[in-house]
Structure 1
Amino acid sequence: MIETSVVLLRGLQYGAAVVLLGTPLFLLYGYSPGRGVAGPTGARRLIAGAALAVALFSLAGLVAQTAVMAGSLAEALKPASLGFMIGDTALGMAFVSRAAAALIVLILFSLVPSGRVLWGLAALGGLVVVASFAWTGHGASTEGPGRLIHLGADIVHAVAAALWLGALAGFALLLARPRAPAPTHRALRDFAGVGTLAVALLVATGLINSGYLIGPERLGSLFTSLYGQLLLLKLALFAAMIAIAAGNRWRLTPALGAALAAGGDTAPALARLRRSVLVEAAVGAAILLVVSLMGTLAPPAAL
């Protein structure tokens, strides 16, 4: 039961963290006053809610992880157990740092008006939150000269995922109540470069991480170990996301552009884009859940 809670809390932290970093970044490069790309009010609520969720789920995750190490929830709630986890392990410090960064972002939302300054500050806080996951994952367990390379690849991998998935949250806001089809089309079209960058970073850092966690000599374990099977599932879901994103870029977005150019009804094109973005986001959420489970398993290289 406690182990299941660890996985679920990890997944909830991942989901909130990608919004906390990726959505403010989307607003920075895709939103400007007058373009109607995303309503600041809806974005403000979404990002603030993500910050609150990160803080709460991180603290709950700290308790759950302490319970796994201490043997029971009752032991985990003792000050001595929590104190040891926070003060003597990088894992505990990562949980606390994550929660603190999210709370700082939440405080900023009560002090700073919506706009580029707030989005930039939120993105900085989100960067701290996302980077902290490297110290609660397999990257932190690597020793020797490759430690910094693996840790760095883990951080870049997480940031690239947030860049993509957080943008999907921004597009969901945008497509829920589009103020004008033309700015919506422009935002979708302009995301092509950012999306390509995210995919390239995910592939490159994924290969680096796999080299440390599996290695070419253990490729057979992809089919025989639970970790390997989950990795294959993750790759299949990732390929599905790329296919959906390609459909958005090469078919649905041009269809919206054609409707705009012809002066016709854009509602059907917007509805198709809305459904596609929601499906893409759902597949992304499934990937985060798979990654959450993989984080609790020993990779083949550690066996």
Structure 2
Amino acid sequence: MLEVAVIGLRWLQYSGAVVLLGAPLFLLYSFRGVEAPRFGWVKPTLVMAALVVAVGSLAALVAQTAVMAGSLSEAVKPASLSFMVTGTALGMAMVARAIVAMVGLVAVIALKPGRATWLITVASGLIINASFAWTGHGAATEGPGGLLHLVSDIIHAVAAALWLGALAALTIQLLRRAAPDSPAIHRVLHSFAGLGTLAVVLLVLTGLVNSWFLISPARVGDLGASLYGQLLITKLVLFTLMLAMAAVNRFRLTPMLGSVLAKGDDPRQALQRLRRSVVAETLVGGLLLAVVAAMGTLAPPSAM
């Protein structure tokens, strides 16, 4: 039961972290020149994301301590928590993550929505996403390749947040009760194409590096023999599915919306198709994060 709680809390932290970084960066990059008041959903969304990360990190600290100590009653003892926080990189990373999330939360609440607030939130999101390397497998590699694996894992987490956080922001914008600004949505999708492509390239390259350390080429043939390997295969299938959906959005649905707007026709049907596709891609992304959360609690083939 405790292991399930650890996985669930990891998923919550991942979900909050990608929104905290990806959503404001997406707004800064894609909605340049658009007035902040048009994005009334941004502040409550970032507040919720920061709270999820802060509370989830502290709860995960207790849950992980309980797993190591053998019971929840032992985990809540000051001595157990103190050892976890001061004696392990895992505990330090969780506490640091909670503190940075609270700093981001205060900034979002205290400052007016706008560029300065979003930049502070992006900085918080960068630190938080980077910290996952110390609560996963990224910091476990020893020897000459340790630094390369750590840096690769950090870049992998940040690239994932760029993609998934932007998807979350776009989904919220498309699902708002008020009719979305069709020309603005079309411009956003075009402007995000470059950043989205960069995120995908980084994910593929760092994924290959991480797999080299966690699996090694000699064990690829036995990948399906372990639960970690089965989850990795599932992750790759979901990633490929997201790539296919993103390609449909970029090369079919977005040009279709542009064509409708150019002709002066009613864009509602084109927007509806785009909305369904983006929501589906976001849901697959959430499922992928759940798989990653489970993988982070398992020993990779290289450790066996």
State the Cα deviation string for residues 64-117 of structure 1 (Å, max 9, x = none).
000000000000000000000001111000000000000001111222111010
Residue 292 in structure 1 maps to residue 293 in structure 2: yes
Letter in 1 for 2:58: L
Does the residue aligned with 1:219 lie in a helix, a strand or coil?
helix
Letter in 2 for 1:193: G
Q: Which runs of 5+ in 2 are unaligned?
A: none
Does the residue aligned with 1:140 lie in a helix, a strand or coil?
coil
State the Cα deviation string for residues 255-303 of structure 1 (Å, max 9, x = none).
1001100100100111111111110001101110001111111111000
User: What TM-score results when the alignment is normalised by the length of structure 1?
Assistant: 0.97
Letter in 2 for 1:70: A
CA distance in 1, matches of 2:2, 2:293: 14
Instruction: Give the alignment of 1:1-303 within 5 angstroms.
Output: 1-34=1-34, 39-177=38-176, 178-303=179-304
CA distance in 1, matches of 2:95, 2:109: 22
Letter in 2 for 1:276: S
The alpha carbon displacement at 1:221 in A equals 2.2
In 1, are the aligned partners of 2:175 and 2:275 still within 8 Å (CA)? yes
State the Cα deviation string for residues 215-256 of structure 1 (Å, max 9, x = none).
011112212111111101100000000000000001110110
Letter in 1 for 2:150: L
Q: List structure 1 runs of 4+ shifted beyond 3 angstroms.
A: 33-36
State the Cα deviation string for residues 24-72 of structure 1 (Å, max 9, x = none).
1001101234378x93220111111100110011100000000000000
CA distance in 1, matches of 2:96, 2:59: 14
Does the residue aligned with 1:240 lie in a helix, a strand or coil?
helix
CA distance in 1, matches of 2:53, 2:290: 16
User: What TM-score results when the alignment is normalised by the length of structure 2?
Assistant: 0.97
CA distance in 1, matches of 2:34, 2:92: 42
CA distance in 2, matches of 1:39, 1:7: 36
CA distance in 2, matches of 1:179, 1:226: 43
Letter in 2 for 1:180: D
Letter in 1 for 2:286: A
CA distance in 2, matches of 1:39, 1:4: 40
Q: Which runs of 5+ in 1 are unaligned?
A: none
In 1, are the aligned partners of 2:20 and 2:50 still within 8 Å (CA)? yes
Does the residue aligned with 2:41 lie in a helix, a strand or coil?
helix
CA distance in 2, matches of 1:165, 1:220: 30
Letter in 2 for 1:247: V
Aligned length: 302
Letter in 1 for 2:141: T
Letter in 1 for 2:142: E
Which segment is superposed worse, 168-177 or 259-268? 168-177
In 2, are the aligned partners of 1:39 and 1:173 still within 8 Å (CA)? no
* 1:34–1:140 CA distance, 2 compared to 1 (3 A): closer
CA distance in 2, matches of 1:160, 1:125: 15
CA distance in 1, matches of 2:38, 2:6: 35
Identity among equivalent pairs (%) = 58
State the Cα deviation string for residues 9-35 of structure 1 (Å, max 9, x = none).
001110111000100100110123437
In 2, are the aligned partners of 1:175 and 1:274 still within 8 Å (CA)? yes
In 2, are the aligned partners of 1:160 and 1:198 still within 8 Å (CA)? yes
Letter in 1 for 2:164: L
State the Cα deviation string for residues 169-222 of structure 1 (Å, max 9, x = none).
111122123542111100011111111101000000000000000001111221
CA distance in 1, matches of 2:216, 2:91: 29
